[in-house]
Structure 1
């Protein structure tokens, strides 16, 4: 690959010098510990408000909580970066254990504050949140009180938080460490290559079908060999969550994810109803693509395969230039922000061993920076991933003027800016395409994203929903997990995928996220929501960026239903809203079938 003027590796020293051996970071940890002691003293003296004038006490403790939260986020993001760039960084693992303990104490104290506030007389509460000093926090304070209704006693919540450190959250860390340590052997151009999981997964879009198939089979062999271990990890994570839910009186495992996403069940149900109605065209697309590969049914290892030889083998510098060029056509702030990220070492894209398999973006609220992590392989899919993660970083940037309390947007909105940025780049590539093969190639890439959001994500949702129902009754064996995954994939893809990975439950990291259960439907929500926003952007051009920034800045202080109503004037509890986005994607499927049949 041609050498790039842009750094392939990020700069972490500008945050804390010397990585996991940083004395500066150790001082930061000590500072957080002192802050936690002070918070505990404040919380001990904090009592349920009895008068409207006590609003200042509530504001004071909110500010203190926010300050600690920002410091914790800065520390946790740094450690995440250290472990992502080198899964063998054991010093970073020890630091993570330290900050996890601090985080548990912090969360326990925040819950105590929320429990105190929820006991406020309702009439007084309404007056309190409308005071000048608290009105900016009104939505979050009301959200806190809704959350607090599910909490246990202070003693029990503290015990739960303590157990999470070396139990619940620890299992998620074990999963990430195990996945990063696995090596996969694949023959490429007659040479046996030892690859990380991330590198092996990247081969799913390799132009050689033999390489794709061998990589797929090699990974499946590893998952089969280690399925008992992964089943144990997944069961422990889910088991802890099930038991805590029972103690808190949570009757349905979806209650908490919906609350976290600030979304009504009616909204989720409306989205799935629309999606199920429109799956047939995407099944037809998969069937047509299978025929092109000489198969009767789409082989799972061919799903990400490029249509013909990709004209978009693109080096990193060209990818950066392409992204900046087309971001600039949408808006000056998006382009200038992204250029700043590239110029200042915010991105780690190097393809090397020991890296994490998962691309991500993480924010540093104190220094007002982000870091983007991925493994760049020179394909259009990598360019799209880069644009996607930059979208996350731009969302962090957009929240800059917002008060820290109101910066916490839900997962459903978290995928909006990222998907939007990805759409800009994919559409730009399609517009520049000249030949039939180029158009077919890019249309296929666009449809892969629709299939992932409408079929694969739906399958993940179905699997997780059924898994948790069975986990409530006891341990779910690896063989049973395979059956549940097979059934979910068959239903999600409507039987249009051949030899799907029944071990998807192993290598899909979202099932092991201890902070975010059911991190699946937010992707579909974000994808369809982004389609609506993107349609507005194309209609208004560069003038839309101001409205877009306002939408992103509102994403942390209102429900998803209110956010969409305010900025798009749409009712998302109605199936008709979701049908509009689905119809746009159906046209892509029809265009693909028509173009590929010529």
Structure 2
């Protein structure tokens, strides 16, 4: 079974439990005024309990709807209920604002109730964020308008992109299948897929650009209205990340760009290119990988490597496969990419892949299962204490990638080692160069959007400039990708701007954690699970301190990038040996 099973949520939209949960939301929300009538710890306790019950129901409803739409973007019933749920949650904003103002009146450090103390971090965060909250009427208007504004633009973009057909040699392919062709061992296939993909966007480019402009315009306005200096500052505050930490990370990345690009130059030289690597060769295998990794084979390999780290990690992945938590292969009207959703109220996860039987797909499985294991480690927390910020959310996923990649190297032949290292370095290029280009693109797009809607032509120009600056002489500037903004979903989420630097943060933090695991393999797995279990109730800098890591210290990030440099040196050596065999 290669499609996920959602029955643990609901069996259908007509399931009586689905309808009851939908109808119960408003009833629960009506209880708040009674609880707020007295300023007592008992009343605050009841408010927290009710918030938890409401959030559990919203989570179940949202994931059933959203997962249904991700697997079948043309599901009209799911679209209908998404609008209905958005309208219900928008109508609840007023009570939420009053609750938060009520919470802010308490001297939280003096509260004796253990249940309140258990939620001290999130309550303090609510109190501290009050300065960014508008009055009840304004927040309610914004919430309702988003349903016909940014959320509508986001849904429209998803529907448009998922419907795009790419014509290659007279045959129409779904976009997701064409994206997988970038990994083909055949150069002509890669080239045809690249040019056909770019051509396929052209009829839709203004529509997609309009969606992006609509969303970013709304973000700029609401961010300023709430008192943030910029969407980037808002992103850092939501990420529980100091700007100092982000600047340290970006500075170290930028400083190491020239040496990281050496991988691209090595690959370009080996494949016979003189002016840098063309975009369509980014994922070209430099050596023939005869092995195909079916999902059954690939997922079992992931499970086996997970067990070398800990029984808990291996058991989690085994359970996920056996219980059909994954939607595996690409198909028409299915969203692209890959993701994990942790359904905290059920202590379960669901995984979407567009699996293409390559080793890189095996690594993607490890990545998404890492997200799922993160959710599992939060299983003993209440749902309010499980909302970890974006950057730390990419740590467990990248850590699991490293486990599988390093494990694969141990038993690999010299040729297989090249394949594995190439995949590792390809991901590193994504984390360093591509993520930096995305950060530059989004920063500059926001600046352009301040002047008015941004055309597709200008959007492509901004993207190309960002790619040239990030990839430098590692890529052939005649063959870049001006439409990378068109299908990447991260740019279109109005609630989370700059969903790019979290990948760099998570990947480089994960490499640092893996180095610590190697020094202490017996005890680190337990420390690691403890580390993940507190990620929903601490600032990022404090989470790192539980493992004696200082995120504002350049030397920590440099030590992680040094691991990538070592891999580049090894890759170069193995490739030289392979050429002379």
What is the TM-score of this pair, normalised by structure 2? 0.95
1:82 maps to 68
Report whether the alignment pairs 1:13 with 2:10.
Answer: no
Contact 2:86 2:147 in 1 (8 A): yes
Distance in structure 1 (CA, Å) of the matches to 2:205 and 2:34: 46
The reply to whether residue 161 of structure 1 matches residue 122 of structure 2 is: no
Tell me what 1:583 maps to: 562
Q: Secondary structure at the match of 2:357?
A: coil
Q: Quick one: which of 51, 55, 58 aligns to 1:69?
A: 55
Distance in 1 between residues matched to 2:512 and 2:363, nearest whole Å: 19
Q: How many residues align?
A: 574
Q: Deviations over 1:240-278 (max 9, x none)?
A: 111112221222111211011100000000001111111
Residues 328 and 353 in structure 2, CA contact (< 8 A), matched pair in contact too:
yes
Moved over 4 A (4+): none
Deviations 1:212-261 (A, max 9, x none): 11111111112222211111000000111111122212221112110111
Secondary structure at the aligned position of 1:526 is classed as helix
| Contact 2:238–2:389 under 8 Å retained in 1 | yes
Q: Are 1:359 and 2:338 matched, yes or no?
A: yes
2:198 matched to which residue of 1?
Answer: 220
For the residue of structure 2 that corresponds to 1:149, the secondary structure is: helix
Which of the residues 375, 380, 387 maps onto 1:408? 387
| Distance of 1:100 and 1:588 partners within structure 2 | 47
- 1:525 is aligned, of 493, 505, 526, to 505
Distance in 1 (CA, whole Å) between partners of 2:290 and 2:420 is 10
Deviations 1:522-574 (A, max 9, x none): 0000001111111122222253221111011010000000000112x121012
1:547 correspondence with 2:541? no
Cα 1:43/1:181, change in 2 over 3 Å: farther
Q: Does 1:55 align with 2:41?
A: yes
SS of equivalent to 1:241: helix
Q: Check whether the contact 2:52–2:382 (CA below 8 A) recurs between aligned residues.
A: no
Secondary structure, aligned partner of 1:295? coil
- Against the structure 1 CA distance between its residues 419 and 206, is the aligned structure 2 distance closer, same or farther, given a 3 Å change threshold? same
Q: Give the superposition deviation at 1:473.
A: 2.3
Correspondence 1:439 to 2:409:
no
- CA distance in 1 between counterparts of 2:403 and 2:248 reads 27
Of 534, 545, 549, the match for 1:565: 545
Match of 2:450 among 472, 482, 489: 472
Q: CA deviation at 1:354?
A: 2.3
User: Matched residue of 1:254: which SS?
Assistant: helix
Q: How many angstroms does 1:23 deviate by?
A: 1.9
Query: Do the aligned partners of residues 375 and 148 (structure 1) sit closer, same or farther apart at CA in structure 2, a change above 3 Å counting?
Result: same
How far apart, CA to CA, are the structure 2 residues paired with 1:45 and 1:133? 16
**Offset at 1:41?**
4.2
Q: Distance in 2 between matches of 1:240 and 1:87?
A: 24
Q: Report the Cα distance in structure 2 between the residues aligned to 1:266 and 1:295, rounded to whole angstroms.
A: 40
Structure 1, residues 341-396: CA drift from partner, whole Å, max 9, x if none?
11111111134322211211112233221111112211101111111111111111
Mapping for residues 177-326 of structure 1, pairs under 5 Å: 177-187=159-169, 192-296=170-274, 297-326=276-305
1:6-60 deviation line (CA, Å, top 9, x unaligned): x22221234311x4xx321x543443433323324414762694xxxx1221121
The change in CA–CA distance for 1:43 and 1:584 in structure 2 (over 3 A counts) is farther
Residues 79, 95 of structure 1: 8 Å contact kept: yes
Aligned to 1:377: 356
Partner Cα separation in structure 1 for residue 367 and residue 329 of structure 2: 17
| CA distance in structure 1 between the aligned counterparts of 2:357 and 2:179, rounded to whole angstroms | 14
Shift of 1:419: 1.0
Counterpart contact for 2:163–2:332, Cα < 8 Å: no
Match of 1:23 among 14, 19, 24: 14
2:349 aligned counterpart, secondary structure? strand
TM-score of the pair, normalised by structure 1: 0.93
Alignment RMSD: 1.7
Following the alignment from structure 2 to structure 1, what is the Cα–Cα distance between the partners of residues 211 and 34?
Answer: 37
SS in 2 for 1:278: helix
Per-residue Cα deviation, 1:74-93 (whole angstroms, up to 9, x for no partner) = 11111122112112111111
Residue 305 of structure 1, CA deviation: 1.0
More divergent stretch after superposition (108-117 vs 502-511): 108-117
Partner of 2:356, secondary structure, is coil
> Partners in 2 of 1:97 and 1:299 — Cα distance?
42
Shift of 1:111: 2.8
In the other structure, the counterpart of 1:427 is 406
SS in 2 for 1:110: helix
Unaligned regions of 5+ residues in structure 2, if any? none
The aligned counterpart of 1:4 is none
Please tell me whether the aligned partners of residues 327 and 424 of structure 1 are also in contact (alpha carbons under 8 angstroms): yes
Q: Helix, strand or coil: the match of 1:378?
A: coil
Instruction: Tell me the CA shift for residue 108 of structure 1.
Output: 4.2
| d(CA) in 2 for partners of 1:232, 1:543 | 52
SS at match of 1:473: coil
Residues 331 and 542 in structure 1, CA contact (< 8 A), matched pair in contact too: no
CA 270–35 in structure 1, closer or farther in 2 if over 3 Å, else same: same
Any idea what SS the aligned residue of 1:279 has? helix
Paired position in structure 1 for 2:32: 42
Distance 2:512 2:45 in 1: 37
Output the CA distance in 2 between the equivalents of 1:158 and 1:45: 21
Moved more, 58-67 or 243-252: 243-252
**Structure 1: 5+ residue runs without aligned partners?**
1-6
Looking at structure 2, the residues matched to 32 and 106 of structure 1 have their Cα atoms a distance apart, in angstroms, of 13
1:399–1:474 CA distance, 2 compared to 1 (3 A): same
Residue aligned with 2:172, SS = strand
Classify the secondary structure of the residue corresponding to 2:132. coil
